[in-house]
Structure 1
Amino acid sequence: MSVLVTGGRTVKVAGSPVHVLDTGSGPAVLMLHGSGPGTTGDGAWAATATSLAASHRVVAPDQAGFGRTPLPAGTSGGLRVWTEQAAALMDALGETSYAVVGHSMGGAVALALAAARPRQVSRVVAVGTMGAPEAPLSTDLNAVWAAPPGPEGARDMLGRLVADQSLVTDEAVAARADAMRAGAEAFAAMFPAPRTRWVDDLTLSAATLAAVRAPVLLVHGAQDRLTPLRTAALPLLDHLGDVRLHVLGRCGHAPQLEQPTAFRELLAAFLVRG
């Protein structure tokens, strides 16, 4: 049973509450955020959701341990928890066929979900994605996961996310600092050092990637420092069956925020692709 809350609603999934932005109507699109401290579904995807809502039902949850979605009892997050919760959420919402868009960590979850639910997942858009076999933990991703709550940590993190440093405004820093402080306790439980193990947890095997039957669009920033193009996106081309890669120049780890118009055009065209 769903309970309406300000800014979205909460859906019970396997006995655990999941806060979700649920807007628009039409074919369903599940949007999964990344792993930076202070990240939420609506924070990551609200602008994209607005552009899609006229033609699609957009579902953007706070994944377990982020925003207003607590970690299920006895867990500390991880690929299996996030993948199973995403699948169960869409079941709870009555959606039997849907596209999945995932950013960074959410990209790995999207690909894992497509492998686990080939009849439900119609297509995948993986943005600045994690999940590639043998991808190392980058210095910048390690720093983002280690960023302390507050303005200093927020400014450093945002500076690593984007190529265009003019986007790191005082307003953006203040908003992210507030979100980081609000989620600090849950986040600390998910990515403690040594952090290479969390990259390993989000790494998808060759067998899992081969099980993805849906068409996949990889969108990557050429200047992505957290999940570099060479180690994160390019290797996936050797493992996914129906895949294409679009690289955006002068762009860092978050194309949907740094080049929103280009990203939305790519997304809209891929979602209606025959």
Structure 2
Amino acid sequence: MRLGLLCIVALILFPITNANAREQKAYGAELQAFSYPYPVQHYTFMSQRQQLSMAYMDIAADKPNGRTAVLLHGKNFCGATWVTTIAALHAAGYRVIAPDQIGFCKSSKPASYQFSFEQLAANTHALLGQLGVEHVVLVGHSMGGMLAVRYALMYPQQLDALALVNPIGLEDWRQKGVPWRSVDEWYAKTLQTSFDGIKRYQQSTYYAGHWKPEYDRWVDMLAGMYEGDARKTMAWDQALTYDMIMSQPVIHDIGAIRTPTLLLIGELDNTAVGKDLAPPSLARTLGNYPVLAREAAARIPHATLVPFPDCGHAPQIQQPQRFNETLIARLPTLLATD
């Protein structure tokens, strides 16, 4: 009896460690300890009175077709998450450039920066100028789709084709009634970021409740930037870029795009930034990608819509072979009209 009581006390004071408990590795604010699939280079430049470093992968084609594809990552993604698309485009003869935007992934995390899609587009344009690239096929996913739209409007002479993969911002959330959230509130919310929280959000919002073990690597990549001393740095830049997304809609300008455009849309996606702020009656209507994609395709001249009915927010990750084959098969038609 006495032995049993002692065992219970011991379990309360010194609980058994779960052998399967997950330990999050710290990768650093610039993902210093996280490996990318191809060599990473850095473009150093001055912007807003400070020196910044923009990381990028530049993969030369073995059998060049004369085209360069530039891949723009989403907010919760990085250049590395394009790994299978890079390989497929490379095999098809494209030179592929995949940058990490300032404030994200392996690039600088400035403590003070006026983030705008115009600024990020200008940074990317300067990088391509440094690399001697004059014409590109631009592919943007998620937030990178918003950036790609802005880039297409700012530098139309440089674009041979535009591909938007589940771009966010196909609706103006603030105009629809999503309440405003201050940068300080975004910061406080983002400070709570964890592996489990990222995974829950992505599973419910990006993948319609489904999950595959290979997705864990990309969750680990994001969570590792928030681990340790980097947490406050990461959370602040993420708060600033959330404010950028909410306050700088591009949907009202898409009708001015003149570049042949491909919309690759996973129809199970329901992403809408700020949805958690909206009243339930409004939240249920946000992120309706089948409808939003059709409306966007109707507004963009020379647009082609290709739906992926059984995919969510990231078809290039969910069904990489199908997505990459579709992208590469469709690009020649767009390029023939440039």
Partner of 1:201: 247
Query: Does the CA contact (< 8 Å) of 1:114 and 1:121 recur in 2?
Result: yes
Write the deviation string for residues 12-67 of structure 1: whole angstroms up to 9, x where unpaired: 2445211001113241111000012xx3212x211210111131111101111111
Residue number in structure 1 paired with 2:6:
none
The two structures have a TM-score, normalised by structure 2, of 0.68
Note closer, same or farther for the CA distance 1:101–1:177 as it changes in structure 2 (3 Å cut).
same
Structure 1 residues 246, 215: CA separation in 2 closer, same or farther (over 3 Å shift)? same
SS of residue matched to 1:68: coil
* AA at the equivalent of 2:42: T
Picking from 73, 80, 83, the partner of 1:33 is 73
Q: Does 1:240 align with 2:286?
A: no
Q: 1:245 to 1:187 in 2, by over 3 A?
A: farther
* Aligned ranges 1:1-274 → 2 under 5 Å: 7-14=39-46, 15-25=51-61, 26=64, 27-36=67-76, 39-42=77-80, 44-54=81-91, 55-71=93-109, 74-135=112-173, 146=189, 148-159=192-203, 160-163=205-208, 165-168=210-213, 171-172=216-217, 173-181=219-227, 184-192=231-239, 197-204=243-250, 206=252, 208-227=253-272, 228=287, 229-230=289-290, 232-273=292-333, 274=336
- Aligned length in residues: 262
State whether residues 71 and 77 of structure 1, in contact with CA within 8 Å, keep that contact through their aligned partners in structure 2.
no
- List 4+ stretches of structure 1 deviating above 6 A: none
Q: 2:168·2:271 contact (CA, 8 Å) conserved in 1?
A: no
Between the aligned residues of both structures, percent identity stands at 24
* CA distance in structure 2 between the partners assigned to 1:268 and 1:262 by the alignment: 10
CA distance in 1, matches of 2:247, 2:322: 31
The change in CA–CA distance for 1:238 and 1:252 in structure 2 (over 3 A counts) is same
Q: Tell which structure's C-alpha radius of gyration is larger.
A: 2
Distance 1:60 1:189 in 2: 24
Distance 1:165 1:88, change over 3 A: same
Contact 1:24 1:52 (8 Å CA) reproduced: no
| Contact 1:76–1:189 (CA under 8 A) maintained in structure 2 | no
RMSD of the alignment, in Å?
Answer: 3.1
Name the aligned partner's letter for residue 89 of structure 1.
L
Q: Deviation of residue 200 (structure 1)?
A: 3.5
Gaps of 5+ in 1: none
What letter is aligned with 1:99?
V
Q: CA deviation at 1:246?
A: 1.1
